[in-house]
Chain A
Amino acid sequence: MSEEIVRAEALKKTFTLSKKQQKIEKTGETRRIAVNGLSFSAYRGEIYGLLGPNGAGKTTTLRMLATLIRPDAGDAFICGHSVVKDPAKVRDEIGFMTSELKLEGFFTPDYLFDFFGAMHGVEKGVLQQRKRELFAKFGIDQFAEVQVKNLSTGMLQKVSLVISIVHDPSVVIFDEPTNGLDVLTAKVVTDFLAELKAMGKSIILSTHIFSLVEKLCDRVGIIFDGKMAAEGTLEEIAKGDLETSFFNLYHALKGETV
């Protein structure tokens, strides 16, 4: 087995339910456990997929790994740095992509690449070299001076992806990477992920799309209600068909059929 690069140890996160939410869900509970003692590991050069239905705790887990929110209990280590004790060092090691994070439309890809490079403390010469390589690789060079608000959806996605790895992170975290994208843009993203893997990066992604996991992931963790229901390689988990295995597991754990 190669080097362990991400280790989540009994991560737990609870959120307060608003009065309105309590009314909708007809519950008197004031707290909701989003992630409940989740542990897993990802290794250098692999794509690890967190698979689960909506509300399973995937996004919350990735947000904890990206240090945007703090776990209530447990910890996670990225390249040996704790997300609780050393969030700044963790942020230097990761590239985080989610549809919630946006780029300011007023600026150009060229400006934003330099800006985010500076935010991560990338040395100027290295930054320019990376910009030339990445812009050429993803065809951004022709649009480098176009304001982001004037870019097509596909190009904007490419720019967002490139900027998320401006500092050459060891780990790339993607929340629902192809959600809401048209087929062409989705292909840009999946190709990009494969490219990153080839570059030796470790990738953790969350998704509820079986085909994406089958196409990209080396290992997968299935989450229900914030808990790890199953974890392993695709062969170990899917035993031929991932979708069937997923629903069998769902039925076994929740006692419900879909």
Chain B
Amino acid sequence: MKLWSLMRKEFHRFFHDPRLIVTMLLPGIVIFLLYTFVGEAVHTEPEKQNYKVFLQGESVTTAYIQAAIEANGDTVEWLPVENEADAGAAVEAGEAAAIMTFSTHFDDVFTDLTKTDGTVSILYDPLNEAGSSFYAISNAVLQKIGMKFSIQAVSIASEEHIGREVMQQILPFIIVCFVFSACMSVTLESVAGEKERGTLSTILVTSAKRSQIALGKIVPLACISMLGALSSFLGVVFSMPKLMGISVNFLGGYQVGSYFLLLLLIISFVPLIVALISTISTAARSVKEASAYTSVLMILVMVISLVAAFLPAIGDWVIAIPVLNAVVFTQELLAGALPVWQSLVSVGVNLLYTAALVFVMTKMLSSEKIMFGK
């Protein structure tokens, strides 16, 4: 009986509070909307591909490969190799998809079943879309023919290149995750917790300005979060290469300016997230409610940071979008670019958003409806 009463109380608390019901439904709605958006962005009609492939040696298998490519609606252009170095440079520059080299008398394997020394090598750049796609098609066709010849894949991308590419995609997302969780753990308790316990009201009775109270929360919480985020970030930086089996110091080789911009982007991003969570916590009536809203925000921020990995070459308009701007320019920095003005403007934009949120929080602290539910 007591247990039932206790359970009923919890159900009553939840289902009689429209706000909590909304917070339960919101994640689903947000996920649906965001995944629909991401899906549409990712699955747009791919452009028709014209594979330019340097060909050394001869084989009838090229006709099968060409047929497979054309079956997909794409085309292939076989180019003679006049100078091996030039051809290699064209592949490296992404101007050609691959260099396909057949050994002499390769096609003998089709007439003399005892022959096993035919080889075909495909030199390509796995980081190049056309290169990796041509290799995948050729490899599939040759495997299907199933004769006794060997296929050699020659990647021009070094292990370091691949490692850096992976990091470039993943790291901004990881940074966002750690920053957000660091901010969330300290901010919810400090703002929503204080409001719920009535200790925030005690401060409101003093002559401290509401803006001072808002800043007095956001600034130290941002500093604490920064430490948490930094410690997590460094942990990832030093453990990830080993975790992924990449023997590369992927942050090595960048310019000092890149490090500086990266740090600035993170520094601008942390107070923004803290200000966002603080504002939500001020509006919420309890820690429970604040954490429910913040979970939705967390999904939103994480999906936004993942979107950046799916959308190559986002325009400079991204500067105006908080979070996304930091993620995109962090990616560019990790890719070796130095988007100086874009990063600096993004930092300024993020700080402006933070200032706007401090203003909103100040207004909320002055609102008797929000603070005292009247």
Q: Which residues of A contact B (CB under 8 A)?
A: 15, 63, 66-70, 88-89, 91-92, 94, 96, 100-104, 116, 119-121
Contact = CB atoms under 8 A, between A and B. Distances in A.
Contacts, number: 49
B158 interface: no
Contact of A102 (B199, B209, B374): B199
A91 B205 contact: yes
B373 to A, nearest CB: 10
A88 B207 contact: yes
B207 A68 contact: no
Report which residue of B197, B203, B205 has the largest number of chain A beta carbons within 10 angstroms of its beta carbon. Answer: B205
Nearest to B374: A15
Contacts of A119: 203, 206-208
Task: Describe B's contact surface by its main secondary structure.
Answer: helix
B210 to A, nearest CB: 10
Nearest to A88: B207
Interface in B192-220: 194, 197-199, 201-209
B201 A91 contact: no
Interface of B: 194, 197-199, 201-209, 368, 371-372, 374
B374 A69 contact: yes
A89 B208 CA distance: 10
A180 B97 CA distance: 82
B207 A104 contact: no
Nearest to B371: A68
A104 B199 contact: yes
A170 to B, nearest CB: 13
Nearest to A164: B205
A68 B199 contact: no
Nearest to A20: B16
Nearest to B193: A104
Contacts of A104: 194, 197, 199
Given A68-B368, A89-B207, 5 more contacts: A66-B205, A68-B205, A101-B201, A102-B201, A119-B207
A123 to B, nearest CB: 14
A188 to B, nearest CB: 19
A91 B206 contact: yes
29 contacts: A15-B374, A68-B201, A68-B371, A69-B368, A69-B374, A88-B207, A88-B209, A89-B207, A91-B205, A91-B207, A94-B205, A96-B205, A100-B198, A100-B201, A101-B198, A101-B201, A102-B197, A102-B201, A103-B199, A103-B202, A104-B194, A104-B197, A116-B202, A119-B203, A119-B206, A119-B207, A119-B208, A120-B207, A121-B207
Contacts of A121: 207
B374 to A, nearest CB: 5
Contacts of A15: 374
Contacts of A70: 368
Nearest to A166: B206
A88 B211 CA distance: 12
A114 B10 CA distance: 40
B74 to A, nearest CB: 63
B227 to A, nearest CB: 19
Contacts of A67: 205
Contacts of A103: 199, 202
B372 A120 contact: no
A70 B206 CA distance: 16
Nearest to B203: A119
A102 B198 contact: yes
Report which residue of A66, A69, A70 has the largest number of chain B beta carbons within 10 angstroms of its beta carbon. Answer: A69
A106 B196 CA distance: 15
Contacts of B198: 100-102
Contacts of B199: 101-104
Nearest to A64: B368
Nearest to B201: A101
A85 B274 CA distance: 32
